[in-house]
Amino acid sequence: MTTEVIPTDGAVDPGPAPPPAVKGMTLRAARWRRNGTSLLMMAPFAVLFGVFVIYPLVKSLYLSFTNYRGIKPPVWIGLENYTSLFGDERFRKAMLNTFLYVAGSVTLTTIMALIVAMAFRGQSWLHRTVRVLFFLPSVTSAIALNLIWKWIFSPEDYGMANQFVGLFGVDRVEWLSTPSLAVPVLVFMGVWGGIGYGMVIFVAGLNAIPEEYYESARMDGATPWQQFTKITLPLLRPVTAYVVITGLIGAFQIFEAVFIIFFRSAGVIGGLHDSALMIVPYLYDQGFGHFYLGRASAIAWVLLVIIFVISMIHLRITRANRDLT
Amino acid sequence: MAVRRRALLCGLAAAALILGGCNSSTGEQQTSGPVSLTMWNTGSDEDTKAIQKAADQYKAAHPDVTIKVETITWADGNAKILAAAQAKQGADIITGGLSWGIQFGALGGMVDLKTLGVVDVAKSVSQQAIWKSITSTDGAVYGAPFDLSAYVLYYNPDLFAKAKIAGPPKTWAELTDAITKLKAAGVKYPFAMEWGNTSWLEYFNFLRQAGGNLYDEGCTKATIDSPQAVEALRFYGELYTKYGAPKDAGFDVTGGMGKGEVAMISGGNWLLSGIPSTVPALKDKLGVAPMPAGAAGGTTFLGGRVIGVMSYSKNQQAAADFITYLYDPAAIKTIADTLAVSGSLFLSSRPDQLAGLQAKPEVVQTLQSIYGTAEGPPACPGWEDSSSLVDKALQKSMFDGVAPESALADAAKIMNDNLKK
């Protein structure tokens, strides 16, 4: 162990606000004196973060290269879990469904949230009430919401969706067992539930744009559309990037809706013909339905890479990275 | 140095705290003294209450043994038992799906009940065909049959009378004939399938009735692509596409029967109590019968739950002794009578105990008839991994227009690949 002694001849620049070093005190002791309290206060968080975040992450990365079924020790199999995934028809279906869902729900949620935010950005009683109403799904239990949706899309005549389409003379629809409707139904639910959150962020972004820009534009004869496209949208770019990226991450992780609404029986996940199978439900199916925990870990890492890559691409495209920093 | 030592001690203390919570049991057997057993019952709270009553009776005769029965749900029971097996902590006894014994046994999580004397007692008294489904390929039995689930045909006699149908259909031809007549009489859904709707479970009935099977006798290859299997899938598919059976898993069959919209239901035995409790008007007149037979007979699928001992349990023999007690007519009667109070029927794996059910004679007679021919799922290697893929193959044929021959050839390939793994 090396023991450095702080020179006392004044040759070292003390830098900004150094602690009053005691003559002859070791550098290590001085550092401890300066940072010890902070480190001790951080320690509980650091321990919990290490145990519950870092360790599981590293362990799941290791498990993704093993054949691990939960009880017997894992057996190293290299990349086999990853290579087998891409030959797996169900995984490909889950990927396709997830990408369709993400594209549909994130695009529509962002557009709708912006529209609602622009319509109800004021401080009047009406605007505030409408914003609260739109935000309610974000603070309601996902389980409760999905159970209600399941009821709404019930195939019987009393299902609210069937009653609604019945008003237009449309015959009863088996919403949840018609494969072509599965992803659109999930997108509809996702958009309904996500508008409120995006709206709140957009309202904050809109209200941060100085009114003078619009006044100046109006004086120059800019139309409302020109004001929107030349002022609002560019200045909302960082906010939009945030809404889109958080939306992407959330959409890729869709689970409860598939698990609850398209539940057919224990051990069968993903709806009729896997029409609603998504990546996370498939991960659950492989990990906790069939106990392929190594394979499930590989799916989790594939999902992480997909989200990371898409988020990076989005940030680059919108050039929002610079704006955000 | 002192600081470093203190930090090291703090680190060790934290690690000890964390690891203390992950104490791993070695599974050493407790040989004497009072025994406390925990049983996880995958099912309902009513079931748990009934089993607890039998456990309390057992304690009266065995004062040293205390058993606590807890409910775990079907939705997450499998994962919870896996987590317990991994941590080597949790229940001593579990009940769960028929395949769970083989599944957890293969992973080393459950004990072969042959070594604990359960099989000697249970096998001689319980429904015989089910043993093929719960015996591993190496001959081990990790889960003994606890109760059984059977397919029953339910029908509304009023709608039958309206359509001038004399009685429940006994053959496939009579079934489609009845559907046609009921449709003509204005019944919205003449036939609905409840248990395993659009899945291999319901298909299994038609497959066996047509003379086919999922695998050959020795589990050496899949036989789901046989001509009989094709015929069965064609018939199964037509029940949806031609005869209008609802394909949504959430379709309310009992409510539909109550409203006079559904005339016949192919469903699990739980509807014996489920329909009368949902539709009191049908309580005294609900018709029940075995499923219509095909050219090769009336075999239907037999499900249920197994009961077994976890390998980490320190009281394996005590747990096994309690399981053996559950085959005693007195224990079966206690469970059945307790469940009867809430309107449920307990279908023990013992056919000779069906006569004691608190049910109408025709119900008991129907169940006895079903027990005589029903068969459980295959215990062939890889079936657990294949079943959901087989579902998709069947659905491709039924709803995507893929020829049954082609869909079943795909299913056979999947099953054969998994058989070899």
Q: Which of B362, B203, B368, B379 is nearest to B284 (CA)?
A: B362
Q: What is the ipTM of this complex?
A: 0.76
| Crossing angle for the helix pair B45-61 and B316-325, to the nearest 10 degrees | 100
Cα separation, B221 vs B223, in Å, equals 6
Are B107 and A156 inside 8 Å of each other by CB?
A: no
> Which residues are CB-neighbours of B273 under 8 A, at least 6 positions away?
B343, B344, B345
Whether A156 contacts B256, CB under 8 Å: yes
Residue B180, pLDDT above cutoff 50: yes
Whether A190 contacts A105, CB under 8 Å: yes
* A180 inside 8 A of chain B by CB: no
pLDDT of the residue at A9:
47
Whether residues B306 and B295 fall in one domain = no
Of B196, B246, B399, the CB nearest to A265: B196
- The type of residue at B47 is D
A15 falls within a domain: no
Cα separation, A240 vs A118, in Å, equals 13
Are B78 and A155 inside 8 Å of each other by CB?
A: no
- Per-residue pLDDT, averaged over A41-61, amounts to 96
Task: Count Cβ atoms below 10 Å from residue B132 Cβ, excluding itself.
Answer: 12
Whether A251 contacts A104, CB under 8 Å: no
Whether residues B220 and B78 fall in one domain = no
Are A264 and B249 inside 8 Å of each other by CB?
A: yes
pLDDT of the residue at B111:
96
Task: Count Cβ atoms below 10 Å from residue B289 Cβ, excluding itself.
Answer: 19
Whether residues B133 and B200 fall in one domain = no
A168 falls within a domain: yes
Q: For residue B385, what is the nearest residue in chain A, using CA coordinates?
A: A290
Are A263 and B18 inside 8 Å of each other by CB?
A: no
A179 falls within a domain: yes
> Which residues are CB-neighbours of A191 under 8 A, at least 6 positions away?
A105, A108, A109, A112
Q: Which of B295, B258, B147, B267 is nearest to B201 (CA)?
A: B267
Q: Where in the sequence is the domain holding A120, given as residue range(s)?
A: 84-324
A71 falls within a domain: no
Number of independent structural domains in chain B: 2
pLDDT tens per residue, range A240-280: 999 999 999 999 999 999 998 887 655 578 888 889 999 99
- The type of residue at A2 is T
Q: Where in the sequence is the domain holding B228, given as residue range(s)?
A: 150-301+379-419
Q: Please report which confidence band the pLDDT of residue A209 belongs to, taking 50, 70 and 90 as the band edges.
A: very high
Sort out which chain B residues have CB atoms less than 8 A from A269's CB and list them. 388
Cα separation, B252 vs A10, in Å, equals 86
Of B196, B246, B387, the CB nearest to A155: B246
- Per-residue pLDDT, averaged over B216-245, amounts to 95
To probe the interface with A, which of B44, B248, B301, B418 has the most A CB atoms within 10 Å? B248
Whether residues B144 and B48 fall in one domain = yes
- Structure letter (DSSP) for residue A228: I
* A14 inside 8 A of chain B by CB: no
pLDDT of the residue at A290:
85
Are A273 and B197 inside 8 Å of each other by CB?
A: no
The enclosing domain of A273 has a CATH number of 1.10.3720.10
Two tokens, residue B283: 């309580």
Of A72, A155, A289, the CB nearest to B78: A289
- Per-residue pLDDT, averaged over B94-102, amounts to 93
> Which residues are CB-neighbours of B56 under 8 A, at least 6 positions away?
none
Whether residues B349 and B314 fall in one domain = yes
Residue A15, pLDDT above cutoff 90: no
Number of independent structural domains in chain A: 1
Whether residues B165 and B195 fall in one domain = yes
Between residues 254 and 293 of chain A, which touch chain B (CB distance below 8 Å)? 263-269, 272-274, 285, 288-291
Q: Strand runs (DSSP E) across chain A, as ranges?
A: 66-67, 75-76
Handedness of CA A19, A23, A26, A27 (dihedral sign): positive
- Per-residue pLDDT, averaged over B335-341, amounts to 93
Length of chain A in terms of residues written = 325
Q: Which of B265, B329, B359 is nearest to B57 (CA)?
A: B329
pLDDT of the residue at A313:
87
Whether residues B202 and B251 fall in one domain = yes
Two tokens, residue A29: 């002791």
Sort out which chain B residues have CB atoms less than 8 A from A155's CB and list them. 246, 248, 250-251
Sort out which chain A residues have CB atoms less than 8 A from B198's CB and list them. 177, 264, 272
The enclosing domain of B328 has a CATH number of 3.40.190.10
Of B97, B108, B252, the CB nearest to A71: B108
Residue B10, pLDDT above cutoff 90: no
A78 falls within a domain: no
Two tokens, residue A294: 């190594």
Q: Between A268 and A91, whose confidence is greater?
A: A91
A161 falls within a domain: yes
Whether residues B276 and B327 fall in one domain = no
- Per-residue pLDDT, averaged over A279-285, amounts to 94
Q: For residue A273, what is the nearest residue in chain B, using CA coordinates?
A: B392
Whether A270 contacts A262, CB under 8 Å: yes
pLDDT of the residue at B398:
93
Residue A1, pLDDT above cutoff 80: no
Partner residues linked to B36 by β-bridges: B66
A214 falls within a domain: yes
Whether residues B130 and B154 fall in one domain = no
Residue A2, pLDDT above cutoff 50: no
Q: Which of B310, B324, B322 is nearest to B27 (CA)?
A: B310
Q: For residue A263, what is the nearest residue in chain B, using CA coordinates?
A: B249
Average pLDDT, chain B: 90
- The type of residue at A165 is V
A58 falls within a domain: no
Whether residues B313 and B244 fall in one domain = no
Whether residues B405 and B287 fall in one domain = yes
Whether residues B230 and B167 fall in one domain = yes
Are A155 and B251 inside 8 Å of each other by CB?
A: yes
Q: Please report which confidence band the pLDDT of residue A18 belongs to, taking 50, 70 and 90 as the band edges.
A: low
Q: Which of B373, B388, B404 is the last residue of a domain?
A: B373
Q: Which helix (DSSP H) or strand (DSSP E) does residue B306 occupy? A: strand B302-309
DSSP-assigned letters across all residues of A14-81: --SS---PPTT-BHHHHHHHHHHHHHHHHHHHHHHHIIIIIHHHHHHHHHTTEE--SSSPPEE-TTHH
Q: Which of A264, A273, A260, A242 is nearest to A97 (CA)?
A: A273
Average pLDDT, chain A: 88
